[in-house]
A and B are shown apart, each in its own frame.
Chain A
């Protein structure tokens, strides 16, 4: 059983979807309960992964499963190959953890075509989990694309007033990126086959050892990087996010923010960076610059938003900029901080979208100016909202701080010192936009008559928030639970990127004498210089 735990966890929601499809459509309560139970069971299935001590000592892939899937003669071969290490572990758990919470959040928010919504949620969960555990690039691509479809419909059918525009924009943005990635994947595969590299289907771990020519890496990297940059989203391809977030139903926004944005950052760490390390070195300053611009830009634009949801969406651009900066620091402090911050962002921003959902369900507006003085009417809500706000702005001893601090410290110790200095201003700006928003929504006189009879949070709503609050404090006070299990995997990934772990099985064609210098052996391996932190 335990050797198939990943498959079981991934496809259980798909099975659940079939069950949902067989249930009568009219009974919303039954459908929601069933979905909740399915997602809870999925979470329980995934729990043993978190408790497994193997991740503390080994950075390799665990729980691997392998089966040949599609093959066309000897020429085209793709496999069902999955596994997790200390990096994907936390993203998988974040996914299984956040799903029951989002299902609970739909209790009153979704009443139109419940059956379809629940089926899509479960399909989405399978797709997201599949993408995190895939070790075969083609398999990853399938899950990656599969994710797109349920989210497209969730925005397009259950979304707000401008939902069609948002859904199409979301779809086209992502599809354009994915197509480039698909071309790159196929090119990579045939290149490997034709040059006699070791090829076992589209296995990522085999591709790591290809030692591609830097010039070739450049183009392939750009294709991957562009595709993932849209998903992250990095500046300047972020403009789908505010629309998608604003128009999506609460559950959609939460999943989008908590899990789907992590696909982009995860893609960088798992695929784009270790596959094309030389190209990464070449583009590093540019990518780091875009990350830092994203941090400051997202914060400045968030500050001036009139719609709470849009504000949170732009804050995501800023936060994900931090994550990218941490990844590009290329040392264990920065990268671990980035992974931790992915989880943190999932929890805090997920919580923020839930909070926006609570007041949206009560007032059917998201405009900041419609609110004010809610603290008086909703004291419990005020406390929870405050804690989440503080977590989002990185108050020490709450989760956001540990991630942000490690990212900035890591970046500062790397070559990206000046980028880190600029990024640190994000600490000031995040306080400005979040506290200003909190002030306008919660403080002041309760003078809008429509707000005067608002009900405080119900027991169900408190139950939704409690698990998130637990992790906000847990990660803030004792992040080692998470760090100790990601550290070996992070070191493994870093040695992959820096070239130490690349098996020298394949010698690239370097006929030209001048090009010797560009060969991977001398290229970018030792570029980290004095700030190297691999201790």
Chain B
């Protein structure tokens, strides 16, 4: 089984090739969709088999080398895959969600232009994502890393005739490239610093084995990890490189669910977990990660307050939740971070697909009524729960999950992060406080979204509102599965204090991931210690804060819906700033984008055209000018030659005489 790891990325690649090359020849939408979905499903099956095999295996790390990629002197890189508990969880997550979202897309994308193109890209994405999580060395991971970036670019710009869509795609790619700049530098530094100790490697298991050769807490390891973290901020949309993700909502909604919520954006978290041994060696980097994560969590949540586009709210929510995961990584709560990665994948995929279902329905209705309204604007929604009951229920369950209400999935994962922030040897009460406030804000903006969309009076145009259908089964089925996962998925990682209470239920996830993280945590003495009462205390506070958030949302958007408008009128400036995302995009434009453009034009027009070509053409003109002047002496008239002879003779005599 372990020798067949390559099959996992292979099936989606095959699907991509079939639909990419023959898709336009296959006239039947269903066939195209089925090929793509089955390709991903096949790798889901293989992933499950690998996972089960790994569960019962004593040895937890297996490599599958396909062949050499780059081989030159000290640089030896293989096309190789690595299966360990961490990557096993990730492949399950990626292939499982990808299958569901492919299925959903069959319904959602029905009748779209470029249907085969969409599915080809989705398969290519799944392939790249699997390369990313399965790669046994940093360079194969980088293939996946850039590959998912490419697919993200292609899928965000799926509606390429729309300028905003192709702009957003380009922005995503370029901002990610800024992150990749960090990734590459980290890789160079890593290769060099290990080479200093005689180990030329970028293989993950060898990195883990030889990390001890670097100075613990030294400047080198801090630099390496900071560079890699820059890469992570790009891919996982953290401050300062988060700005591409909200714009990425230009892509079709299944893309947002798969790429911009469940899988690709968590790549940075995965990368840190993959190299946890290296990151833990630098407390400075870890602190930076924790602070950036916490800051992103709260900052993105503020922007989520004022957005009216349903997908944009979810996008900022994703940025904020990713902040939680980075906070977890930064305080050494690796298991909790991965746990939240998984639960977030469940509920956020469900939320995006649910919003897609609403958009789909409204789009259909507007189309039917020949209206050109924006189907994503929540101000045109309201009361949708009656029109779309399944969508509503699944959406609602996932919202409860993201708010961390007891026994829903994020209750376990988020609370474990917050507990670690409070009690970990690398934590700090301030981090806990920021995280807890962000959790409360999450509850507020999520319920704002739910109330605006599903509750209250129906604000949809009367001509359209009777034509809003519930989505077809092919779309609601994935919603139901995901809602179930969002509701119960947290049970794989019940914390000990609660597990002990109800009868010694172990924390399965922690046990399963122990081979990956435990060594690092014991070696560096990273642990969360505190009384059970304290842990219950943090849990109680975060649940309480969540309830307050929900209550406020109810007050503002159900009970007294005139409050938000009054608030906006009172604090116009503040509201405008939040509505405009704190003007960060404008700031980047003014500080980076426009100066770079001006520099480019300036160098071209001034240096190239004026200076260098000025000199070149100037020399040419000089020579031509001199030639032109000298030409006058070659007149061909005898008398002028005689004249110059006479002048010459006179001059020579004059010189002789006066000397």
Contact = CB atoms under 8 A, between A and B. Distances in A.
Given A300-B603, A332-B72, A443-B161, A427 B184 contact: yes
Interface residues of A, number: 61
B16 interface: no
Given A304-B601, A413-B191, A390 B69 contact: no
Interface of B: 24, 67-75, 139, 142-143, 145-147, 150, 153, 157, 160-161, 163, 166-167, 169-170, 173-174, 177-178, 180-181, 184-185, 187-189, 191-192, 195-196, 200, 596-597, 599-601, 603-604, 607-608, 612-613, 616, 620
Name the 8 nearest CB pairs between A and B, nearest first: A412-B188, A443-B166, A304-B600, A300-B600, A396-B143, A443-B160, A301-B604, A431-B177
Contact of B177 (A373, A375, A408, A427): A427
A213 interface: no
B597 A303 contact: yes
Main secondary structure of the interface of A (DSSP, over half): helix
A61 interface: no
Contacts of A530: 196
Contacts of A397: 143, 147
Contact of A428 (B24, B143, B181, B191): B181
Interface stretch (A320-328, A464-472, A477-485, A505-513): A477-485
Contacts of A58: none
A376 interface: yes
A439 interface: yes
A425 interface: yes
Interface in A384-438: 390, 395-397, 401-402, 405-406, 408-409, 412-413, 420-421, 424-425, 427-428, 431-432, 435-436
B181 A425 contact: yes
A172 interface: yes
Given A302-B600, A533-B74, A533-B195, 17 more contacts: A172-B620, A242-B608, A300-B603, A301-B604, A304-B604, A379-B24, A396-B143, A406-B70, A412-B191, A413-B191, A424-B185, A427-B181, A435-B170, A436-B170, A443-B157, A443-B163, A480-B69
A444 interface: yes
A297 interface: yes
A390 B150 contact: yes
A396 B142 contact: yes
A465 to B, nearest CB: 15
A428 B177 contact: yes
B163 A444 contact: yes
A528 interface: no
Interface string A497-535: 000000000000000000000000000000000110111
B72 A406 contact: yes
Contacts of A396: 139, 142-143, 145-147
A375 B157 CA distance: 12
Contacts of B73: 332-333, 487, 533-535
B74 A535 contact: yes
A473 interface: no
Nearest to B145: A396
Interface in A441-471: 442-446
25 contacts: A239-B613, A297-B603, A300-B600, A300-B604, A301-B600, A301-B603, A301-B604, A336-B72, A396-B145, A401-B146, A405-B139, A408-B184, A409-B75, A412-B192, A413-B191, A413-B192, A427-B184, A431-B177, A439-B169, A439-B170, A480-B68, A483-B70, A533-B73, A534-B73, A535-B200
A479 B173 CA distance: 26
A304 B608 CA distance: 13
A272 B97 CA distance: 57
B189 to A, nearest CB: 8
Nearest to B161: A445
A304 B68 CA distance: 40
A218 interface: no
Contacts of B184: 405, 408, 424, 427
A316 to B, nearest CB: 14
A533 B170 CA distance: 38
A405 B187 CA distance: 10
A373 B161 contact: yes
Contacts of A534: 73
A530 B192 CA distance: 10
Nearest to A414: B192
Nearest to A440: B166
A236 B74 CA distance: 35
Interface centre among B150, B160, B167, B601 (most CB of A within 10 A): B160
A237 B601 CA distance: 18
Given A395-B150, A530-B196, A173 B603 contact: no
A431 B173 contact: yes
Given A396-B146, A439-B170, A444 B160 contact: yes
Contacts of B147: 395-397
A57 to B, nearest CB: 15
B215 to A, nearest CB: 16
Contacts of B68: 480
Interface string A24-68: 000000000000000000000000000000000000000000000
A442 B195 CA distance: 45
With most chain B CB atoms within 10 A of its CB, the pick from A395, A435, A445 is: A435
Given A435-B170, A436-B170, A443-B161, A333 B72 contact: yes
Nearest to B165: A443
Contacts of A420: 188
Given A173-B616, A239-B608, A408 B188 contact: yes
Contacts of A531: 192
A432 B174 contact: yes
